[in-house]
Structure 1
Amino acid sequence: MNDPVKSVTEHKHVYRVEGFSCANCAGKFEKNVKQLPGVEDAKVNFGASKINVFGNTTVEELEKAGAFENLKVVPEKLGTHTSHAVERENKEEKIPFYKKHSTLLTSVLFLVFGYLSLYMNGEGNIVTTLLFLASMLIGGLSLFRVGLQNLIRFEFNMKTLMTVAVIGGAIIGEWAEVAVVVILFAISEALERFSMERARQSIHSLMDIAPKEAFVRRNGQELKVHVDDIVVGDIMLVKPGQKIAMDGIVVNGYSAVNQAAITGESVPVEKSVDDNVFAGTLNEEGILEVKITKLVEDTTIAKIIHLVEEAQGERAPAQAFIDKFAKYYTPIIMIVAALVAIVPPLLSNGSWETWVYQGLAVLVVGCPCALVISTPISIVSAIGNAAKKGVLVKGGVYLEEMGTLKAIAFDKTGTLTKGVPIVTDFEVLYQQIEEKELLSIITALENRSQHPLASAIMKKADQENIPYSEIMVEDFSSITGRGIEGSVNGTTYYIGSPQLFSELFVSDFTQAFEDKVNYLQNQGKTVMIIGTEQNILGIIAVADEVREISKEVIQKLNQLGIKKTIMLTGDNKGTADAIGAHVGVSDIQSELLPQDKLDYMKQLRSEFGKVAMVGDGVNDAPALAASTVGIAMGGAGTDTALETADVALMGDDLRKLPFTVKLSRKALNIIKANITFAIAIKFIALLLVVPGWLTLWIAILSDMGATILVTLNGLRLMKVKD
C-alpha cells in the first residue's frame, strides 16, 4: 500500500525567493503557487524567504505566480553552505544605492519638480499636474498593478487600500498629496524589505561560516577538494588558523578548537584523537587529521541552518492572531472609509469633497503594514540571535512559550552534573597494606566489572600511574546488586556497598565506621568498601561532579521569576538531596524510573501550566515530550537532541538557559508592544476623522512611522546579550 505522506514528501522542492516586500505579498504568492497545475500544496517561509512546493512545477511557472511583486525564484541547492540566492543577495549588497533604488529616486525627483512648478505656476497648471502624475506612476507602478488586480478579484489587502485611496485622491484632484502618499508607501515597503533582510542576515552569516573547500589526503596526495565532493571516510587535513570544513572525528593530532560558531562557547576546546569536530569551527593551534563522518548536507552547521530557517517560518500564536485579524480588518476598514465618505454628506449636508477626502485618508491610515510586520520581524530577529549564541529554538511557538514558563525541571545526570563520575575520597583503613597497593588491587578488580562507577576508579589509577593491568585476578564474579569479588595472590577481596559488608558480618563494621559511611553518603557520594571476609581494608567514595555553574544558573532563573525549579533523578534519596541542596533547586524528586519522570511532568503541567524539562535529549525523551518546552543539552554532539527537543543548547553550557528565558520574555514583550502600538496609532489617527483633521499626509506618516518604530523595536532582539 502506498504511503500518501511519503509520496508527497518525495515531490517536495525547496526554492529561495527574492523580492518579498511584506508578509501579505508572501501570503498571496503562496496562494498563487497552490493554484498552479501539478502543485499539490505550497508553504511560504517568509522569515527565511523560501517556499516549499509539494508536487511538480517549473521555476518559470513560480516566477509567473510571483510576477505581481517581480519575485525571483532559485532552486535551493542541497549540499552547499551558501545557496545561489544568498550569493546573489550578497552581490546585490554591492550595487550602489542610487542604482538599487533608481525608480524611487526618479519618482522623488519628479515630485520635487512638481512642487517647484506648483510654487511658480500655482494649482491647476497642466505641467504641475503632469509632474505629480509622473511621480505617482513611476513610484507606484507595482502598487497599482497589484492593487487593480486585487480589486478585480475582490481581494483586499494593504495594496488594495492604497490603490483605492490613490485613485480617489486623483479623482478629487489632490495630485500633490497623492504623489507624496505613493512615495512614502514605496519608502515604507523598502524599509520593511531592508529590515527583514537585516534580520535574515543572522542566518546568512551562519551559511558563510564553513569553508567551501578543504584539503583532503587521497592516494598519498594532498588535494584541495570542494566540500560537495568530499565523501565519508576521507581524511581531511586542517592547519592552525584554518576553519574546519566538515564534521568528523580526529584521527591524528592535538589542538584547541574555537567552537563559538556552533555552541556559543567563548573558550576554545581541546581536541585530540577520537574527539568530534564540527564544520565551521576554527582550528587555533596544532595540525589535525580528521576522518569525515558526515556529508556536507548532514553536518551540524547545515542542520542548524535548516532548522533555524524552518523555525523562522513557524507561525507563533501571536502571528496566527495577526493573520486572522488582518483577514477581517481590511474589509472592515474599507466599509468604515465608505461610510465616512458617504454618511456625513447624506445626513448633514457635509461637503462631498471634504468627506470623500476624509474617507480616502481612512483607507490610507487603515493600511496594516505595521501590524503585519510586527510579529515576523521579532521572531526572525530573536531566533537568529539565539542561533548565533549557540541556542537553537525550533519555532516561534516555543520562543513565546519559553517566555511564559512557570517551572523548569532538570534531569540531574549530565545536566546539573557533568555526567562523569570521579573519585572524591579514598582512605586506607588497614595499616598492613599501602595505599598504592590497595588501589592497584581495587582497579584490577573493577577493570573486569561492568559497573558504571568502575571508570572513575580506573581514571584515578591512570592519573596516579598505578599499575593494574598485569595483576592476575582469579575467580572473579559479580554479586548482583551488592558488588564484586575476586582472588588476587590467593586472597579473596570484596568491593561493594556497605550492605554487602554488613551481610558478611566483618568484625570491623562498627558503629563508628557506619557513621563515616553515612557522612559520605549525605554529601551525595556513592560509597564502596574494599575488604576481605575478616577485615575492611579501605573505603572509596565516587560522585558525579556537580557543574560549577549549576548553582549560578538556578539563582538566575529564580531572579527571572521562575516559580519552581525541580531536580529529577534515579539516584537514591541521600545523594539526590545533597546535590539538590547544593545547587539550590526548590524541589527534589529521587529514585525515579523514566515512567515516573513522565508522570511527574504531567503533574507539573496540571499544577503550573507552562513547564520546561531540561535533559540530554536521549534517555529523557518521554519527559521532554510531555513538557511544554523540551530543552536538550549538548545539541552539537547528538542528532537526537536536535531532532527531539523544542530548544537545543548547542554547547554543554547550562548558562545559555537563563539567556534563552530572558530573550524569549523580551521577544514576547516586544511582540505585544508592537501589536498594541500598531493598533493604537491607527485608532488615534482614525479619531482625527471626527473633527475632520485627518489628512492623507497624517495618514501615511502615521502608517510609515508605526512601521519604522515596530521594525526598529523588533530588530532590538538581535542585540540582546548573553
Structure 2
Amino acid sequence: MDASVNFGAAKLTVYGETTIEELEKAGAFENIKVVPEKQKMEEKKEPFFQKHSTVIASLVFLLIGWVSAEMKGEESISSILAYGASMVVGGYRLFSTGLKNLVRLEFDMKTLMTIAVIGAAFIGEWGEGATVVILFAISEALESYSMDKARQSIRSLMDIAPKEALIRRGNKEITVEVDDIQIGDIMIVKPGQKIAMDGIVVKGLSAVNQAAITGESVPVAKTVDDEVFAGTLNAEGLLEVIVTKHVDDTTIAKIIHLVEEAQAERAPSQAFVDRFAKYYTPLIMLVAFGVAVVPPMFFGADWDKWIYQGLAALVVGCPCALVISTPVAIVTAIGNAARNGVLIKGGIHLEEMGAIKAIAFDKTGTLTKGIPVVTDYLPQQNKDSNELLTIIAALEKGSQHPLASAIMKKAEQENLHYQSVLVEDFSSITGKGIKGIINGETYYVGNPNFFDEILTKGIPNDLRFQISEMQNQGKTVMVAGTTTEVMGLIAVADVLRENSKGVIKKLHTLGIQKTIMLTGDNAGTANAIGKQVGVSDIQAELLPQDKLTFIKELRGKYDRVAMVGDGVNDAPALAASTVGIAMGGAGTDTALETADIALMADDLGKLPFTVKLSRKALTIIKQNITFALGIKLVALLLVIPGWLTLWIAIFADMGATLIVTLNGLRLLRVKDK
C-alpha cells in the first residue's frame, strides 16, 4: 500500500485498501484523527488547558526545579528530579520520534533536539535541557496553530456549499443529499438559501451573491437561462434550477481540488530548500561533532564546555525554520487568492507571477466587453429618427453580419417594432452591405465605400469628415440611405470594460514595465482602444499564430511575461507565456484547464490584486529563507569565541521558526482593494 500526504490541505490519500481505524492506529503517536473526505469534519473545541496540559505540567516542573536550584543549588537532587520530570513530561513525544529516527539513522530536527537534550542532561545542564524541551513544545504548538490558520482557507471553501438541497421529482418536493442529486433534477432555492449545485435557472428572478466563487462583492441578477454555481447565496427571489453537474464536477469542487493540488505542489524555492536541507542536516551534525571534540582533543580545552557548545550548535542547526519558510507562505497566499476569486494553480505560478515584468492582453473580451454596441446614431436633419432606425433594424434582421445584433438591440431599447416591418427582395452584398425594399422604396445599409459607388456624387464632404472622425475613434461606421441620398450614419464599437483603464494604470504603478494589447483588429481601431485604455504598446492585425510568436519574442526581451485572455482562442499564447491568466474561470472548464491563473469573475480588476499578492509572497519567501539561514550563521559564529549557549541556540531555531511562520501569515492581510 502507498500513501501521499498534502500538508497544506491536511489531506491523506491512500492507494490500496485500509480502514480509518488502521490509519488512526498508525498515526496514534501523533494523535492523528482521520475523517473521510466527503464527511463534514467536526472539530472538538478542547479547552486551552486540556489541549496543552503536557506543556503546562512540564512548565510547572521546570519552575519547581528552578526554585529548588535557587534554594539548594543546581546539583541538588530535588532540582535534578524536577528538571528531569519536566524533560520527560514535555519531551516524551519528541524523544520517542527522535530515538526511533536515530536507530534508523534518519536525521531530522527531532533527532537533533533529542541528542541535544540528552547530551545537556549528560553533562549536568539539566535546567537548560528542560528549557529546550519547553520552548520546543511551545514553538510546535504555535507552528501547528499557524498552519491550521492557513489551512482554514480551504476548509472555509469546503463548507461553502450546502450538503443537501430541496429537489422536485414528479409532484413531490423532497430534501436530498447532494451526493444523490442527479443531472436534470429540478432544485428549488428559496430566498436566503445557498445554492447546492451548479445549474441553469428555469424559473424565477433573483440576485445571487457569487463572492464565494468569483470574489465579486455585488450580487448578480439571475433569471431564466442564466448559470448559477454551488456555494453562492440566493438573496431575494425564489429560483428553480435544473442541475447540470454532479457534486464532484461543480465549479466549487474543481476550485477546492485545484487549490489543494496547488498547495501540495513544490514551488521552485521550496524544492531548493528541500534539497538544501537534505545535505545541510548531516553537515550540521558533523560541525556540531567537530565543535564538541576538536578543541578538547587537540587544544586541551575543557570537555564539558565544548560538548555544551557542540550541543548548542546541534540545536542551532535544526532546519525547521528553513523547511517551513516557503510552504507556509505558499499555502497562505493560494488560500487567500481563492477566497478573493483568483485561482492560482500552483506555488510555481505564484512565484513566477511575483517576478512578471510585462503583461500582454487580448483585446476582445478582455480589455473590452466583447459585445458590439451602437455608440453613435446620427440621422440627417430632415429624417424621422425612429422611422429610420426601424428601417435599418428591419434590414439588419436578415443580415448575418456580427454588428447587426448591436443595431437590433438599439432598436429594442427604443421600443421600435422592427420585426413587423415587411422587407422585400432582401440581398446581402458581400463585404459591402445589404439592401431591401420597404413600402416600395429601396434602402441600403453598408460601409462608406459602398455608398461612394451607389451615390452619383458620392458621400458629401461634411459627412465624410464625420465618418473619418468616428473611424479614428475605433468605431465601425455604417451608412444608411437610398441611391439618391444619405439618410443617416450609425457607428458600432466594442466598448471598453469600465475598469480596464484603471487596471492598466494600477499595473504601471505596481512597476510592470510593459503592458501590450494584442488584437486581430485593424490598426485604426486598435490604436483608438489602446490609447483609451493606456497600454504602453499596441499590436494589431494579429492571427492566433502571430500572438504566439509575439509572446515568444516578449519572453526573449523581458524573461517573464504574463498573457491575459479568455482561455479559448488564446490557448496557444496562454501556454507560451510564463504565466497564462484566463478571464472568467467560473463555469468555463477550458479556462480552468488551460490557464495557470484563473480570474473566476469575468473581472480584470482582480489582476492588480494577483500581482500584489504574488510579489508580497515572493518577498516573504525570500525574507524567510534569508532570515532562517542568516540567524543560524550568526549563532554558529558565536561558537568561535565559545559564547554560544542553549538559550541563544533555542532562539536561533525555535524563535526563527515562529518568526518565519508569522511572517508567512501576513499574506492573509493582503486585500483586494
Q: Which residue of the other structure, out of 110, 115, 135, is the alignment partner of 1:164? A: 115
Q: Secondary structure at the match of 1:636?
A: coil
The answer for the alignment partner of 1:707 in structure 2 is 657
* Counterpart pick for 1:567 among 514, 517, 526: 517
- Report what 2:587 is aligned to: 637
What is the CA–CA distance in structure 2 between the aligned matches of 1:208 and 1:73, rounded to whole Å? 18
Matched position secondary structure for 1:469 = helix
* Cα deviation 1:448-504 (Å, max 9, x = unaligned): 222221111111111111111122223333322323333333433332222322343
- Which residue in 2 is equivalent to 1:45? 6
How far apart, in 2, do the equivalents of 1:632 and 1:343 lie? 60
* 1:217-616 correspondence to structure 2 within 5 Å: 217-429=168-380, 431=382, 433-616=383-566
Instruction: Determine the C-alpha separation between the residues in 2 that align with 1:467 and 1:316.
Output: 60
Counterpart of 2:637? Answer: 687
State how far apart, in whole Å, the 1-side matches of 2:30 and 2:288 are. Answer: 26
1:223 Cα deviation from its structure 2 partner:
2.2
Instruction: Tell me if the contact between 2:452 and 2:458 (Cα under 8 Å) persists in the aligned partners.
Output: no
Distance in structure 1 (CA, Å) of the matches to 2:15 and 2:564 = 35
C-alpha distance in 2, partners of 1:698/1:442? 84
List gaps (5 residues or longer) in structure 1: 1-37, 78-82
Deviation at 1:570, TM superposition (A): 1.1
Q: How far is 1:669 from its partner?
A: 0.7
* Aligned with residue 697 of structure 1, among 647, 660, 666: 647
Contact 1:244–1:279, Cα closer than 8 Å, also in 2 = yes
Q: Indicate which of 102, 110, 133 corresponds to 1:182.
A: 133
User: Structure 2: how far apart are the matches of 1:498 and 1:60?
Assistant: 79
CA distance 1:67–1:285, shift in 2 (3 Å): closer
Mapped to 2, the partners of 1:506 and 1:145 lie a distance apart of 100
SS of equivalent to 2:377: strand
Alignment deviations for residues 386-418 of structure 1 (CA, whole Å, 9 cap, x no partner): 111111111111111111111101111111111
Flag the 1:336–1:214 CA change in 2: closer, same or farther, 3 A.
Answer: same
Deviation string, structure 1 residues 410-429 (Cα, Å, up to 9, x no partner): 11111111111111111223
SS of 1:156 mapped into structure 2: coil
Q: Per-residue displacement from partner, 1:359-405 (whole Å, max 9, x unpaired)?
A: 00000011112111111111111111111111111111111111111
SS of the aligned residue for 2:82 comes to helix
Cα distance in 2 for partners of 1:106, 1:402 equals 47
Hey, what's the Cα distance between the residues in 2 that align with 1:331 and 1:59? 36
Contact 1:508/1:535, CA 8 A, preserved across alignment? no
Cα shift readout 1:44-71 (whole Å, capped 9, x = no counterpart) = 3221122344455555665566566444
Is the CA contact 2:374–2:407 (under 8 Å) kept in the aligned structure 1? yes
- 2:99 equivalent to 1:148: yes
155, 171, 188: which one pairs with 1:204?
A: 155
1:103 counterpart = 2:54: yes
Instruction: Read off the aligned partner of 1:48 and give its amino acid letter.
Output: A
- Take 2:151 and 2:583, find their aligned partners in 1: how far apart are those partners? 26
Which moved further from structure 2: 230-239 or 481-490?
A: 481-490
**1:578 aligned partner, one-letter code:** A
Amino acid at match of 2:86: S
Q: Is the partner of 1:585 in helix, strand or coil?
A: coil
Report sequence identity in percent.
69
Residue identity matched to 1:625: A
**Counterpart AA for 2:345:** K
Match of 1:620 in 2: 570
Displacement after TM superposition at 1:229 (Å): 2.1
Letter matched to residue 365 of structure 1: V
Q: 2:277 and 2:368 mapped to 1: Cα distance?
A: 49
Work out the CA distance in 1 between the residues paired with 2:31 and 2:274. 23
- C-alpha RMSD of the superposition: 1.9
Work out whether residues 506 and 535 of structure 1, in 8 Å CA contact, stay in contact via their aligned partners in 2. no
Deviates more, 1:672-681 or 1:162-171: 162-171
Q: Which amino acid aligns with 1:190?
A: A
Alpha-carbon distance between aligned partners in 2 of 1:152 and 1:67, rounded to the nearest angstrom = 20
Aligned partners of 1:507 and 1:535 also within 8 Å: no
CA distance in 2 between partners of 1:505 and 1:131 (Å)? 108
For 2:238, give the aligned amino acid. Answer: I
Tell me which moved more, 400-409 or 474-483.
474-483
Q: Is the 8 A contact 1:506 1:536 kept in 2?
A: no
Distance 2:666 2:7 in 1: 19
Structure 2, unaligned runs of 5 or more: none
SS in 2 for 1:487: strand
CA offset at residue 116 of structure 1? 3.1
Where 1:707 maps in the other structure, the secondary structure is helix
1:506 to 1:665, Cα distance in 2 relative to 1, 3 A = farther
Greater mean alpha carbon deviation, residues 289-298 or residues 613-622: 289-298
Secondary structure in structure 1 of the residue aligned to 2:420:
coil
1:339 Cα deviation (Å)? 0.4
Q: TM-score, normalised by structure 2?
A: 0.96
Question: Where in structure 2 are the equivalents of 1:43-82 lying within 5 Å?
Answer: 43-54=4-15, 59=20, 62=23, 66=27, 69-77=30-38
Checking the alignment, whether the CA contact within 8 Å between 1:333 and 1:366 is kept in structure 2 is yes
Aligned-partner SS, 1:350: coil
Shift of residue 107, structure 1, vs aligned partner: 2.0
TM-score normalised over the length of structure 1:
0.90
Q: Distance in 1 between matches of 2:348 and 2:190?
A: 42
Does the Cα contact within 8 Å between 2:613 and 2:667 map onto a contact in 1? yes
Q: Verify the 8 A CA contact 1:553 1:655 in the aligned structure 2.
A: yes
User: What is the SS of the residue equivalent to 2:505?
Assistant: helix
Is 1:670 aligned with 2:620? yes
Name the aligned partner's letter for residue 539 of structure 1.
L
Whether the 8 Å contact between 2:444 and 2:480 is mirrored in structure 1 is yes
Q: Aligned partner of 2:11: which letter?
A: K
Q: Using the alignment, how far apart are the partners of 1:111 and 1:694 within structure 2?
A: 22
2:4, 2:465 → 1: CA distance? 67
Cα displacement string for residues 507-548 of structure 1 (whole angstroms, at most 9, x for unaligned residues): 342333322211111111111122333333221101111112
Q: Offset at 1:218?
A: 2.3
